């Protein structure tokens, strides 16, 4: 059960960030086998004073179209699956929304299964 946070600089198109979320969800389904309906996202848009980034860190040229994606998920995916996820997200955003791969920043946070409660105060995945 991934929990996805997507942050962007305010976009004039009110549907834009939700469309980014759809691309990310489709990429997770295809690259790391996230099941259908396992879609939990927090979408944020920020003014320039609250969306800060280094435009040239590590020699990557970023613009105000930067998309920052943080995915918290269960541990256990291989490095190959993670690389596939990064590539699938970046390619999907380029194809669907014209986002340059340089403007796609992704961070994965892996946790143990017992660290989730999906509701009712129960750790559904705990043994």
The C-alpha atoms of residue 61 and residue 25 are separated, in whole angstroms, by: 25
What Cα–Cα distance (Å) separates residue 69 from each residue in 8, 90, 105? 9, 11, 6
Chain centre distance of CA 107: 8
Residue 86 in tokens: 């990064």
Our answer to whether residue 2 is catalytic in this structure is yes
- Reduce the DSSP state of residue 70 to 3 states and report it: strand
Which is catalytic among the residues 2, 12, 35, 101? Answer: 2
Write out the catalytic residue numbers. Answer: 2
């Amino acid at each position: 059960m991934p929990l996805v946070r997507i942050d962007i600089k305010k976009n004039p198109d009110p549907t834009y960030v939700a469309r980014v979320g759809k691309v990310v969800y489709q990429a997770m389904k295809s690259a790391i086998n996230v099941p259908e309906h396992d879609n939990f996202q927090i979408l944020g848009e920020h003014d320039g004073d609250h969306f800060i980034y280094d435009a040239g860190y590590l020699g990557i040229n970023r613009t105000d179209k930067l998309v920052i994606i943080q995915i918290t998920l269960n541990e256990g995916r291989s490095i190959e699956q993670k690389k596939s996820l990064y590539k699938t997200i970046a390619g999907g955003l380029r194809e669907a929304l014209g986002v340059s791969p340089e403007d796609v920043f992704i961070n994965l946070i892996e946790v143990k299964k017992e660290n989730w409660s999906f509701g009712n105060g129960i750790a559904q995945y705990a043994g």
